[in-house]
Amino acid sequence: MATPVHLNIPDPCHENWQQMTPNEQGRHCMSCQKTVVDFTLMSDQQILDHISRATTSVCGRFNNDQLDKTYAEKKVRPAFSFRYAWNMVVATFLLTGNAAVAQTRKSDPPKEIVRGGNNTDKDKDIVFGGVAAVIIPDRRISGEILDDSTGQPVSFASIKVKGAKSGISADGSGSFNLVAPGKKGKVILVISAIGYETNEYELPVNNGNLYKIMVKPEAQTLKPVEVRSYSRVCRTDRVGGLRITTRVTKLERVKREINEWLPTKKDVRIYPNPVAPGSAFNISLNLDQTGEYKMELIDAAGRLVHIQALQVEQKSQLVNVPTQSTWSRGVYWLRLSKVGEKKVYQAKVLLQ
């Protein structure tokens, strides 16, 4: 793959293009005894290939819009399908037929098209001279997110450049690949994950290293437990045994019923949150039961924008949910309900 380059001509040449001797790659300049390559009819990929393969300095003729820009290789992979294969077969058949007909015709000699005027290079849209090619460095940062205490990978950690509105997520093995913006030699990454401390890490750019970033588990402290009892106990003595009767107040009964179906805050956790429209977010589930669940995403106006069936095989499970770039920015509510039961889990998602 060719390295990206930035092209410019710092000192344009003022020789007459029409008075130069034509050759295979362009024209020969008698003043500097060099071949001036004509890039005006080349595509961006052809220009990049020619500059990358050059072993000596290059003198070229360019359009103005071809200069002061960066050339990078673009890989286009056609999606293979039956329609694609059929189109290839038809194209081959047509080209073979046209080639057979062309053999019976005498080809016309190539013609050079020249615009009116004595010197077309006096026009403002043509510049030629020595090409200054600046290689654009690769600003890609790669690494792994590891647990500081165990050394094990931390799955789906959130990584973003400090000050950026959005970031990326590591994969299941803790690996990530990020392109650093700007031109600075160092970048500060903000890394967070569920159950771990959020910290900043300053890393150099473009040194080819694979970074191993250690994150510390978040210290968990338990709040003091307060026990209140609203029940009253009545004891009745009987011959032959003791019977204890417990009366429960309405307040205690309501609390018990609420606790049976109302989930705690840690049952459903969402990250990264907020998330950019068109990106995906993760749902960390810590449920009481496995089985079939229904997931719904509702906007602030109460409209259902996404519904999905989930088969929860483990009580602790991670689910990845995509978003659409056409969704409006704002607050959304995630509802998770077990099929056949009244228990509902809810969480808030912010798109911005």
pLDDT band at 28 (very low <50, low <70, confident <90, very high): confident
The pLDDT assigned to 191 comes to: 94
- Mean pLDDT, residues 251-260 taken together: 67
pLDDT band at 314 (very low <50, low <70, confident <90, very high): confident
The pLDDT assigned to 115 comes to: 35
Tally Cβ neighbours within 10 Å of residue 327: 15
pLDDT tens-place string over residues 73-109: 765 554 555 565 666 665 665 555 544 443 434 444 4
pLDDT band at 198 (very low <50, low <70, confident <90, very high): very high
Contact in structure between 26 and 127 (CB atoms under 8 Å)? no
> Is pLDDT larger for residue 317 or for residue 96?
317
Give 260's DSSP letter: H
The pLDDT assigned to 48 comes to: 84
The pLDDT assigned to 33 comes to: 83
Pairing of strands 280-286, 268-271: antiparallel
The pLDDT assigned to 240 comes to: 56
Lowest mean pLDDT among 204-218, 254-268, 297-311: 254-268
Q: Quickly list DSSP for 114-174.
A: --SSS-GGGSTTEEEEE-EEEEPPP-EEEEEEEETTT--B-TT-EEEETT-S--EE--TTS
How far is 179 from 145, CA to CA, in rounded Å?
Answer: 17
Q: Quickly list DSSP for 179-239.
A: EPPSS-SEEEEEEE-TTB--EEEEEESSS--EEEEEEPBPP--PPPP------EEEEEEET
How far is 277 from 244, CA to CA, in rounded Å?
Answer: 60
The pLDDT assigned to 99 comes to: 45
Across the chain, mean pLDDT equals 76
Lowest mean pLDDT among 75-84, 293-302, 331-340, 343-352: 75-84
The pLDDT assigned to 234 comes to: 55
Contact in structure between 63 and 47 (CB atoms under 8 Å)? no
> Is pLDDT larger for residue 112 or for residue 222?
222
Give 2's DSSP letter: P
SS (H, E, C) 68-118: CEEECCCCCCCCCCHHHHHHHHHHHHHHHHHHHHHCCCCCCCCCCCCCCCC
How far is 215 from 154, CA to CA, in rounded Å?
Answer: 8
What is the enclosing helix (H) or strand (E) of 27? strand 26-29
pLDDT band at 10 (very low <50, low <70, confident <90, very high): confident
> Is pLDDT larger for residue 307 or for residue 82?
307
The pLDDT assigned to 151 comes to: 92
Q: What is the CA radius of gyration of the chain?
A: 34
How far is 40 from 87, CA to CA, in rounded Å?
Answer: 32
Query: Domains (ranges, CATH) in the chain?
Result: 5-71 (no CATH), 138-215 (2.60.40.1120), 268-351 (2.60.40.1930)
- Which 3 state secondary structure label does DSSP give 255? helix
Question: Full-prediction pTM beyond 0.85?
Answer: no
Total count of residues recorded for the chain: 352
How far is 133 from 7, CA to CA, in rounded Å?
Answer: 5
Provide the CA 303 distance to its chain's centre, in angstroms: 28
The pLDDT assigned to 121 comes to: 45
The pLDDT assigned to 89 comes to: 63
φ and ψ at residue 118, rounded to 5 degrees: -75, -30
The pLDDT assigned to 91 comes to: 60
CA dihedral of 189, 192, 198, 199, whole degrees rounded to 10: -20
The pLDDT assigned to 128 comes to: 63
How far is 28 from 33, CA to CA, in rounded Å?
Answer: 7
pLDDT tens-place string over residues 43-53: 988 888 888 88
Angstrom CA distances, 22 to 29, 36, 47, 89, 262, stand at: 9, 9, 19, 40, 83
